[in-house]
């Protein structure tokens, strides 16, 4: 049975490849683009199974209008894929205020606006799935990507909460966390002007690694998209999906380190409780089922 997808950033990278593969297997796609002619070749090939929409993720009013129009035209959309975004590269002190504002407006508040615009439609149709393309950078961090990480950690936290709010309506979430992948992401990086003081720091080393091409990119774009589609098709996918050995290994190490650190703090953590509770275990609702 064919499905209908709404995919942001459909003109290039993982979004373009995902659009091509879904259309080839018989699905329908609403693809957001920044240039009107970006999907013309696919439009000629697949006709009304592809609907291209102009969308700027920094335009919240435009996002809502585009989502409303897409649901009206397609009647039902099964999967909303929040994929569009870019990276801002530079030490926190190097990036400008305008660069920070645009990074957050595109990757974080733009993704939030897309999800919020889709929720009423998904509720009314009885459910659906939102696929958020995050990054290993939503769980771990590298020097010079602080603002990019802020947006990815931010959107993952937002979704952690929203998934609990809307599970009862048949709406679920899948967060995709690819590692470094051979796409055009690097070419789209916005780079801040370097400061000499950071030359011999981890930030400077990261800049050199990026410039000389020595950062090993293990992820294959085609394999990544294939895994994204396969898992998104599952009735009950995991809440988070790490893709690529770099992502899996890096996220695993980071989570193990955090868990070790927090367990070592148990005594001092409990000491901060009111004596009225006599250090009893605090019972919180188990929301894991709402995120499955």
Q: Which of 135, 152, 198, 246 is catalytic?
A: 152
Active site residue 216: no
Q: Which residue has the tokens 């459909």?
A: 10
d(CA 113, CA 100): 18
Active site residue 235: no
d(CA 42, CA 233): 22
Positive or negative torsion for Cα 91, 96, 99, 104: positive
Helix axes 146-166, 110-124, angle to 10 degrees: 20
Q: Which of 134, 135, 146, 246 is catalytic?
A: 134
d(CA 237, CA 241): 9
Cβ-in-10-Å burial (0-12, 13-18, 19+) of 90 comes to buried
What residues have CB less than 8 Å from 70, skipping those under 6 apart?
6, 30, 51, 53, 77
Q: Which of 135, 148, 198, 246 is catalytic?
A: 148
d(CA 118, CA 80): 8
Looking at the DSSP bridge assignments, the partners of residue 129 are: 79, 172
Active site residue 134: yes
**Contact in structure between 7 and 28 (CB atoms under 8 Å):** no
Residues belonging to the active site:
134, 148, 152
């Amino acid at each position: 049975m064919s499905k209908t997808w709404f995919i942001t950033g459909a003109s290039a990278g993982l979004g373009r490849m995902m659009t091509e593969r879904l259309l080839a297997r018989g699905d329908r796609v609403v693809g957001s683009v920044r240039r009107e002619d970006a999907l013309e070749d696919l439009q000629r090939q697949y006709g009304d199974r592809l609907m291209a929409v102009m969308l700027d993720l920094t335009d919240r009013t435009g996002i809502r209008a585009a989502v409303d129009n897409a649901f009206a035209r397609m009647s039902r959309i099964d999967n909303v894929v929040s994929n569009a975004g870019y990276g801002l590269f530079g030490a926190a002190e190097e990036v400008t205020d305008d660069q920070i504002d645009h990074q957050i407006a595109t990757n974080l508040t733009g993704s939030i606006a897309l999800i919020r615009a889709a929720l009423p439609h998904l509720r009314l149709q009885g459910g659906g799935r939102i696929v958020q393309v995050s990054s290993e950078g939503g769980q771990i961090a590298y020097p010079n990507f602080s603002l990019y990480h802020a947006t990815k950690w931010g959107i993952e936290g937002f979704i952690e909460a929203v998934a609990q709010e809307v599970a009862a309506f048949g709406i679920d979430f899948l967060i995709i966390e690819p590692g470094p992948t051979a796409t055009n992401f690097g070419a789209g990086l916005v780079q801040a002007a370097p400061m000499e003081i950071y030359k011999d720091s981890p930030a400077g080393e990261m800049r050199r690694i990026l410039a000389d091409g020595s950062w090993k990119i293990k992820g294959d774009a085609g394999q990544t998209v294939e895994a994204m589609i396969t898992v998104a098709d599952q009735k009950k996918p995991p809440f988070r999906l790490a893709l690529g050995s770099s992502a899996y290994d890096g996220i695993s190490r980071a989570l193990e380190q955090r868990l070790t650190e927090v367990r070592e703090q148990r005594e001092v953590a409990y000491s901060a409780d009111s004596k009225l509770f006599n250090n009893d275990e605090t019972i919180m609702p188990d929301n894991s089922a709402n995120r499955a």
